[in-house]
Structure 1
Amino acid sequence: MFWKSVVFKLWSTIILLVAFVLLILTVLLLEFFENFYVEDAEMNLLNQAESVYSLVESHEEDEISIETVNQLIAPSTRATIFFDEHQYWQNDVYEDYLEIDPSWFITHTDISRVLTHDEEIKEISSVPISNEDLIIVGIPTHDGSGAIYVYQSLNVVEETTEQTTNIILVAATIAIVLTTIFAFFLSTRITAPLIKMRKAASELARGEFHTKVPVLTYDEIGELANSFNLMRRQLNYHITALNQEKSQLSSILKSMADGVITVNKKLEVLIINPPAEQFLERLLYENNLQDEPLPEELKVYFNQVLENEEEHSTEIVVQGRSYVIVMTPLYDDSVVVGVVAIIRDMSDERQLDKLRKDFLANVSHELRTPISMMQGYSEAIVDDVAETKEDKQELAQIIYDESLRMGRLVNELLDLARMEAGHIQLNLEEVNIEDFISKITRKFSTVAHDQNILFETDVNLGLNNMNVDPDRIEQVLTNLIDNAFRHTGEGGIVQVNVADESDDIIIEIIDNGSGISKDDLPFIFERFYKSDKARTRNQSKKGTGLGLSIAKHIVEAHGGNIYAKSKYNEGTSFTFTIPK
C-alpha cells in the first residue's frame, strides 16, 4: 500500500519537518510583527504628541494651534491637551470609541502620572465604556502643569497585524504546497531506482538473473545500482556454476554402475542414484517395509560408521543377488556430518568366479572319464584279459569312441575359446532356405522313427534365400534338434518352424519333452552348464555342456539373437533370429 511505501514515508517526513519549521517561524514572525507594529504605533503617537506640543508652544493663539493640530492629527488618532488639571482641549474624531471623558485621564492612576509626576508614558489600556483597547502616549508640558495625550485604537495595529498574518499564512500555505510537490518529486526520484531494485530483487528471488537495474545517477543510489548489478552478475555466475556442478554430479551419479547413497546424521537420504534406488526397492520389498525410507539393517550399519567414524564394509544377499556395501564417514572440515555408501552388485563377479571354478571341474571331469576308460580298456588288452578277437575288437572300439569323444570336447573348447575371443570367421553364402532346412531335418528322420517321435517341419517364408554361413547355422540347428530329441520321450513331438518377420528370419525348435526348470533356464547358454548337477544322466543323453554356448556365439556372430522358453515336464522352445 502507498502509506507503507518508502515514497510516502519520505514525503511525509519532509512535509512534517517543513510544516513544523514553518509553524515555529510563523509564530515567531507573528509575535515579532505584533510587537513591531505596537512599538511603531507608539513611536508614531509619540512623534505626533511632540509635534502637538511644539505647535502649542509656538503659537500663542489657541485657535490657530487647535486648527493646526486638527490638520496634523490623523483621522484615526485623537489628541487631548491638558493645559492644567481643569482646562483641556480635544480634537474632533469620527469614531465613537475615541469619545473619552477627560476626567478618565486624571483618575486613571497609570495615565495620570504625566500630570502628577511629569513622566512620559506609553500604555495600552481599555476604554471604560466600550472596552476597546487603546494605545496611549502622554508627555508633560514644559512648565509641568499640563500634558498632551495622543491615542488611537489598537484595532488599527491589529488590522495591520492581521494583514501581515494573512500574508504569512498564504506564504506558508504556498510553501507547504511547493514543499509537497518538491518532496513528492524528490522522494519519487530517490525511490524510483529503489523500486526498480526491489522488483529486480524479487525477480532474483524467483531465479531470474537477467534483469538489469538502470544507472540513472552517479550518486550513492547510482553506486548502489552498480553494486546490485555486480551482485546479480556474480550470483548468476555462481548459481550457473553450481547448477552445472550439480548437473554434472547428477549425470555422474546416474551413469555410475554402482549405487551411491548419502545420508546425514539423522539418517535422512540426501543423495541417491538409480542403482541405489533399485537396491533399496529390492531390500525393502524383501523385508516387507514398503513405507520406510531406509531398512533397519542399513540404519544399523550407518549408525556404526557414525559412532566409530571409520570405514565399514559388508556383503548382503538380496533376492538372490550379492551386494557389497562400502560405507565411509562424510566430513565437513573435521566433523562427521553423514555417511556415504557405495553399493556394488557383485552377482556377476561371483557367478564368473563360480563358472571359472566349475569350468576347471567340468573339463577335468569330462576328460577324466574317457581317459579312465581308455586306460582301463587298454590295460585289459595289454594284460590279455580279452582272450578272443571279438573281445579285443570290442575293447578297441570303446577306446576309439572315447578318443573321438575327447577330440570333440577339445575341438569344441577350442572353437568356443576362439568365438569368445572374437576370432570367429564366417564364410557367408546365399543358400536356399527350404533346401537347407530339409537337408538338416532328413538327418533326424531315422532317429525320429526309432524313438517313435513325431517330427514336423513348417517353412513359411516370403523369400527363398538367405545369406549365412551354412556350416555354422547347420551346427546350431543340429545341436538344437539333437537336444530336442534327446530330451523328448517316446510318443513326443518335435517341430521346426521357419518364418520371416520384419527384418529377421525366425527359426524355432519346439518339443514337448522334459523341459528345463526355472532355476536352470537363465544359465543354459553358459559353458558346461548342465541341469543334471550329479551328472548321472543316461549316457545316450549325455553331452559336453558346450553346444548351447557355441550356438549362442554363432547366432550372435550373424547379428541375430537366441533365447529359450520352457516349462518343466511340459516342453521347451528354442528360438533364434537371423537378419535378412
Structure 2
Amino acid sequence: MKEKEQYLNIKSSYVKIIFIVMLIFILISIGLTITLNSLYGEYIKEKIKIANQIIFGVNTGVLCSMLVTLVVVGPAVLFASKKMASPLVEMKKVAIAMSEGDFSIRAKENYSGEIGQLAVTLNKLAAELSNTINSLTIEGDLLKQILNSMSDGLLGFDLNQKVNLKNFTFEEMFEVKTNLEELQNDVQEVIYKVSLSAIENQKTEIATCSFKEKSILISCSPIRSEDNSIIGTVLLFRDVTEAIRLEQTRRDYVANVSHELRSPLTAVKGLIIPLKEGMVKDEDKRNHFYEVIYNEVERLNRLVNDLFELSRLQSRNEPFDMQVVDVTNILYDQQDKFEMLAEEKNIKLIVKNSKDPIYAKGNIDRIGQVLTILIDNAFKFAKVSSTITLSSKNENGRAIVSVHNTGSLIKNEDLPFIFDRFYKVDKAHKEEGAGLGLSIAKEVVMRINGNIHVKSGGKNETCFSFDLELD
C-alpha cells in the first residue's frame, strides 16, 4: 500500500507549539476557574458578589472564545500547513528520484515566491545533471568502442598494480576473460615487471614476451595526473610475429638471391681465368669450358628472369585477360610439350581423361605456365619408371587441375614452406633451379582467382593441384 504523505509534520512544524499553548491555556483557565470557585466561592459571593459574577462571566467568555477559536482556526491552520507542505513534499520526491538516478521527473513551477523559485532551480539542476550524465555515458561508450576497435591490446594499472582498464583485443590476444591470473606465469611476470619499471623510471619502457608461438611487443607508459604525479600505467601489446617473420623472410631473400647469383658467377669466373691466361690447350677441353660457361650464364639468366617475373606478379594488381578455356586440351598440349623429356628420363607422362569436357575461367597462357612449372618440378624429382599423371575434374563447383607424381615424396615438415621463395626440399639437390618456380606458380594461380595445394604421402606420391572457376 502506498504510504500516505504527511503534509502536517507535527515534529517539525510550529503547529505543534500553537496547539500545545492553546491546550495548556485552556486547561489552566478551566482549572483556575474550578479551583477559585470551590475555595472562595462563598467568600466572593458574600464580599464581592458582583465582582465574582463579572470575573466568572469574563472567564466563561474567554473559554468560549478559545473553544470557538480552536474550532474555527484549527482547520484553517491544518489547511494552510498542508498548502505550504505540499510543494515541499513534491520537491522531496524530485530530490529522491535524482538521488536514485532518475533525472526525468520535474517539480511544478506554478508556485509563487521563494517556493516557485526553488522548484525552477531544482528542475534546472535535474536537467543539467541529466545532460551531463548522458554526455558522460555517450563519451564512455565511444571510448569503449575505440579501445575495443584498436588493433593493439591495451591494459591499465593503478599504483597497486590492479587492472582498471582492459580492451577486447588484449583479451583475444592472450585468451583471458576475467583477470591476469589466467595468464601463464612468465607472461604475468613480464607485464608486472615492465609496469613497475615504468613507474620507477618515470618513462616509457619496452619489453617483449612470447605467448603460444606469438611474439608480443609491450610498450608501457606512466599515467600522470594534473599535478604531474604518477597515478598508474598503461600498456600497449602488439603482435609482431608477422613483422618478425617478414623481416626474416627479407633477410633470407637477400641472402638467397646473393647465393644464387654468386654460384654461377663464381663458376664462370673460375673457368674464364684459365681460358684467359691460355692454360687450356686442349680444344675439346676448351669447348667443354665454353659449354659450362654458357650453361651457367643461362642459369643466371633464368634466375634473373624468374626474379623479375615474381616481382612483377607481386607488385601489380591488374588482373590477367580472362577467357573460357578447355582445361583438358591444355593438359594434352603439356603432354606433347614434355613427351621427349619423358622418353629421355624413362618416365610415363599420361593424361587422365575426364567424362565430360571441363571449361573454366582463366588465362590459357598463364595456366600453361603453371602446369609447365609443376610438370618440370615433377620431372626433377621423379625416379626412373615412375608415372606423372595430369588430370582435371569438376568438384564442388570448381575445376580441379592436378599433377600427380608417383616417384617422389615431400616430408611433412617441408609442406608448409613448399611455395616459399628459394625454398628447396632437398638442400643438397644439384638440379637447376633457384626455388622460385613454385612461388611463381602460386602467384599466378592467385591472380586467376584460384588456390594451389600440395599433398604428399602414401608410397612416394606427391600431388600438386590448383582450382579454377567453372564457366
TM superposition score category, shorter chain reference: 0.7 to 0.9
Residues 418-446 of structure 1: CA distance to partner in whole angstroms, max 9, x if unpaired?
A: 22221666233332222123323454566
**What SS does the aligned partner of 1:135 have?**
helix
Structure 2 contact 97–105 (Cα < 8 Å) conserved: no
Alignment of 1:130-529 (within 5 A): 135-137=45-47, 165=63, 168-169=66-67, 171-204=69-102, 209-281=103-175, 290=183, 295-333=188-226, 334-379=228-273, 383=278, 385=280, 387-389=282-284, 391-422=285-316, 426-444=320-338, 450=345, 457=352, 459=354, 464-487=358-381, 496=390, 498-500=392-394, 504-509=398-403, 513-518=408-413, 520-529=414-423
Q: For 2:53 and 2:181, locate their aligned partners in 1 and report how far apart those are by CA, in whole Å.
A: 106
Give the AA of the match of 1:515. Answer: I
Alignment of 1:87-166 (within 5 A): 124-126=40-42, 135-137=45-47, 165=63
| 1:20 counterpart residue number | 20
RMSD, aligned CA: 4.3
| 2:428 counterpart residue number | 536
Q: For 2:133 and 2:149, locate their aligned partners in 1 and report how far apart those are by CA, in whole Å.
A: 24
Instruction: Specify whether residues 329 and 199 from structure 1 end up closer, same or farther in structure 2 by C-alpha distance, changes over 3 A only.
Output: closer
Q: For 1:521 and 1:5, locate their aligned partners in 2 and report how far apart those are by CA, in whole Å.
A: 83
Q: CA deviation at 1:269?
A: 1.9
Q: CA deviation at 1:469?
A: 1.9
Q: CA deviation at 1:483?
A: 3.2
Instruction: Specify whether residues 545 and 6 from structure 1 end up closer, same or farther in structure 2 by C-alpha distance, changes over 3 A only.
Output: farther
Instruction: Specify whether residues 187 and 508 from structure 1 end up closer, same or farther in structure 2 by C-alpha distance, changes over 3 A only.
Output: farther
Give the AA of the match of 2:40. Answer: I
Q: CA deviation at 1:267?
A: 1.4
Q: For 2:150 and 2:198, locate their aligned partners in 1 and report how far apart those are by CA, in whole Å.
A: 23
**What SS does the aligned partner of 1:545 have?**
coil
Query: Tell me, which stretches of 5 or more residues in structure 1 are unaligned?
Result: 39-122, 127-132, 139-149
Residues 333-385 of structure 1: CA distance to partner in whole angstroms, max 9, x if unpaired?
A: 21111112222333333223322222222112112222233333445655463
**What SS does the aligned partner of 1:136 have?**
helix
Residues 452-494 of structure 1: CA distance to partner in whole angstroms, max 9, x if unpaired?
A: 5685646577x74333221122212222343345445567665
**What SS does the aligned partner of 1:246 have?**
helix
Structure 2 contact 354–393 (Cα < 8 Å) conserved: yes
Q: For 2:6 and 2:200, locate their aligned partners in 1 and report how far apart those are by CA, in whole Å.
A: 55
Residues 518-557 of structure 1: CA distance to partner in whole angstroms, max 9, x if unpaired?
A: 4x5444433223345xx312x23x5312222222322232
Structure 1 stretch 15-24 or stretch 407-416: which is displaced more?
15-24
Structure 2 contact 87–115 (Cα < 8 Å) conserved: no
Q: For 1:308 and 1:358, locate their aligned partners in 2 and report how far apart those are by CA, in whole Å.
A: 38
Instruction: Specify whether residues 225 and 442 from structure 1 end up closer, same or farther in structure 2 by C-alpha distance, changes over 3 A only.
Output: farther
Give the AA of the match of 1:176. Answer: G
**Residues 1:552 and 2:442 aligned together:** yes
Structure 2 contact 10–16 (Cα < 8 Å) conserved: no
**What SS does the aligned partner of 1:427 have?**
coil
**What SS does the aligned partner of 1:403 have?**
helix
Q: For 1:385 and 1:548, locate their aligned partners in 2 and report how far apart those are by CA, in whole Å.
A: 40
TM-score normalized by structure 2?
A: 0.79
Instruction: Specify whether residues 292 and 161 from structure 1 end up closer, same or farther in structure 2 by C-alpha distance, changes over 3 A only.
Output: farther
Instruction: Specify whether residues 161 and 214 from structure 1 end up closer, same or farther in structure 2 by C-alpha distance, changes over 3 A only.
Output: closer
Structure 1 contact 418–424 (Cα < 8 Å) conserved: no
Q: For 1:4 and 1:493, locate their aligned partners in 2 and report how far apart those are by CA, in whole Å.
A: 99
**What SS does the aligned partner of 1:215 have?**
coil
Structure 1 contact 562–576 (Cα < 8 Å) conserved: yes
TM-score normalized by structure 1?
A: 0.66
**What SS does the aligned partner of 1:342 have?**
strand
Query: Tell me, which stretches of 5 or more residues in structure 2 are unaligned?
Result: none
